[in-house]
């Protein structure tokens, strides 16, 4: 979740206090979001763009610098935004996210003739410290699953832990997405991030997640009588109708488990755990890239970089 707004001490730049003519900042943001909707981006991505450009932190910065038009957006402004966010204690990762979204917005404004100085595109993102991906231990996994209060919540945790799916991807799974193919069982993830379908294998040599899914569908999932085909449903019906579990509802399940166990339960931590374990088990990097739905190998490389077990094992074979 975005961090609460913090207003650092600063002085307004006189050069930006003059209101330029043309499209307002908010009007340009609306047109930018409309263009992204036309690209069929997910609602979560659109909400993320809007928060970065017109949310609480953006409003403070824009007000303090008296920015009312995209014509005022230049390299100096983006650098000031980054510096002030860092000074306010915002994480480098979130500042990097602001950098990416504002530069994307600037490029859009330049192409459409709404203003923005092209020098903004040359601004470098703040350097991010490289940290080992945060993962769950086997004991963490045991405690998290034990804290789940229902068969649905236990299976939900196992699917996240053993498939690496994103939050919204899990929420959008349907019964028909659990497939027993001739070469093995898999999940069909339809229109995941980037609007790309992909296949995620379910079973390993030791764990048959496909059987758990089939058993859940047959015995624990509420009967819908022709209603929703969502794999995970609400546990209480409204007028006899069970609604699909939303991403927000999944977050609430995780929050409750976090409070009961003292373990930070988060969708991306499940994803990091899945990727790290897959590499340790010998899964090919190219295959892992496809399963995770990453567009480039660079996005998988950090998991390879932090394979401590492989590194230590290689050191044991040294002859010096």
Marked catalytic residue, from 166, 198, 269, 277? 166
The mean pLDDT of 293-315, rounded to a whole number, is 62
Could you please report the per-residue DSSP string of the chain? -PPPP--------GGG-S--SSS-HHHHHHHHHHHHHHTT--HHHHHHHHHHHHSHHHHHHHHHTT--SGGG--HHHHHHHHHHHHHTT--HHHHHHHHHHHHHHHHHHHHHTS---GGGGGPPPPPPPP-PPP---HHHHHHHHHH--SHHHHHHHHHHHHH---HHHHHT-BGGGEEEETTEEEEEE-S-TTS--EEEE-B-SS-BHHHHHHHIIIIISPP-TTS--BSSB-SS-BTTBPPBPPHHHHHHHHHHHHHHHSS---HHHHHHHHHHHHHHTT--HHHHHHHHT-SSTHHHHHHHHT-HHHHHHHHHT---
Average pLDDT over residues 230-238: 84
Given a cut of 50, is residue 84 above it in pLDDT? yes
- The Cα 33–Cα 29 span in angstroms is 6
Which whole number is the average pLDDT over 167-193?
Answer: 85
pLDDT of residue 20: 41
All structural domains of the chain with their residue ranges: 14-122, 138-316
* 101-119 pLDDT, tens digit each: 999 999 999 999 998 999 9
Tens-digit pLDDT profile for residues 32-65: 999 999 988 878 789 999 999 999 999 999 999 9
In the prediction, which pLDDT does 16 show?
41
The mean predicted confidence, pLDDT, of the chain is: 84
Residue 20 to residue 16: CA distance in whole angstroms: 9
Give pLDDT, residue 14. 39
294 is catalytic: yes
More confident residue, 246 or 194: 246
1: pLDDT strictly greater than 50:
no
The yes-or-no answer on residue 212 being catalytic is: no
248 carries an active-site annotation? no
Q: Is 272 a catalytic residue?
A: no
Residue bearing the bigger pLDDT, 96 or 305: 96
Class of domain 14-122: mainly alpha
| Annotated catalytic residue within 37, 59, 255, 268 | 268
Is pLDDT at 258 greater than 70 in this prediction? yes
| Average pLDDT estimate for 277-282 | 83
Active site residue 131: no
Q: Give yes or no for residue 283 having a pLDDT over 90.
A: no
Choose, from 294, 305, 308, 316, the residue flagged as catalytic. 294
Q: What angle do CA 254, 258, 263 make, to 5 degrees?
A: 125
pLDDT tens, residue by residue, 261-277: 999 998 889 988 888 88
The architecture CATH gives domain 138-316? Orthogonal Bundle (1.10)
Residue 302 pLDDT grade (very low, low, confident, very high; cuts 50, 70, 90): low
Residue 190 pLDDT > 90: no
Q: What is the mean pLDDT of residues 9-20?
A: 42
For residue 290, is pLDDT > 70?
yes
Tell whether the model's pLDDT for residue 5 goes beyond 70: no
Give the per-residue pLDDT at 121.
Answer: 93
Instruction: Return the pLDDT at 79.
Output: 95
Active-site hit among 193, 212, 221, 272: 193
Specify the pLDDT at position 18: 39
Average pLDDT over residues 172-191: 88
* The residue count for the chain: 320
Name the catalytic one among 172, 271, 272, 277: 271
- Does position 298 have pLDDT exceeding 80, yes or no? no
Rounded average pLDDT over 169-188: 89
271 catalytic per annotation:
yes
Q: Is the pLDDT of residue 308 over 80?
A: no
């Amino acid at each position: 979740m975005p961090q609460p707004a913090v207003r650092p001490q600063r002085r307004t730049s006189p050069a930006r206090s003059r209101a330029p003519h043309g499209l307002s900042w908010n009007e340009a943001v609306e047109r930018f979001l409309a263009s992204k909707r036309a690209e069929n981006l997910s609602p979560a991505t659109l909400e993320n763009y809007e928060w970065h450009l017109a949310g609480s932190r953006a409003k403070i910065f824009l007000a303090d610098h008296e920015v009312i038009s995209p014509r005022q957006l230049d390299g100096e402004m983006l650098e000031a935004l980054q510096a002030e966010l860092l000074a306010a204690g915002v994480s480098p990762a979130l500042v990097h996210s602001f950098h990416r979204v504002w530069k994307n917005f600037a490029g859009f404004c330049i192409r459409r003739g709404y203003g923005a100085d092209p020098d903004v595109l040359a601004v470098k993102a703040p350097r991010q410290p490289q940290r080992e991906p945060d993962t769950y231990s086997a004991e963490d996994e045991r405690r998290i699953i034990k804290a789940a209060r229902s068969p649905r919540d236990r299976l939900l945790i196992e699917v996240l832990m053993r498939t690496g799916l994103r939050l919204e991807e899990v929420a959008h799974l349907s019964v028909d997405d659990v497939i027993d193919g001739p070469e093995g069982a898999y999940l069909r993830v339809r229109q995941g991030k980037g609007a790309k379908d992909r296949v995620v294998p379910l079973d390993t040599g030791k764990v048959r997640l496909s059987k758990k899914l089939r058993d859940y569908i047959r015995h624990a999932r509420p009967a819908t009588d022709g209603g929703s085909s969502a794999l995970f449903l609400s546990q209480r019906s409204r007028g006899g109708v069970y609604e699909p579990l939303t991403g927000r509802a999944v977050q609430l399940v995780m929050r409750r488990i976090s409070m009961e166990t003292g373990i930070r339960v988060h969708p991306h931590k499940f994803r990091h755990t899945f990727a790290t374990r897959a590499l340790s088990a010998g899964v090919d990097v190219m295959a892992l890239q496809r399963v995770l739905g990453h567009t480039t190998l660079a996005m998988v490389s950090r998991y390879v970089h932090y394979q401590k077990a492989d590194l230590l094992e290689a050191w044991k074979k040294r002859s010096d």
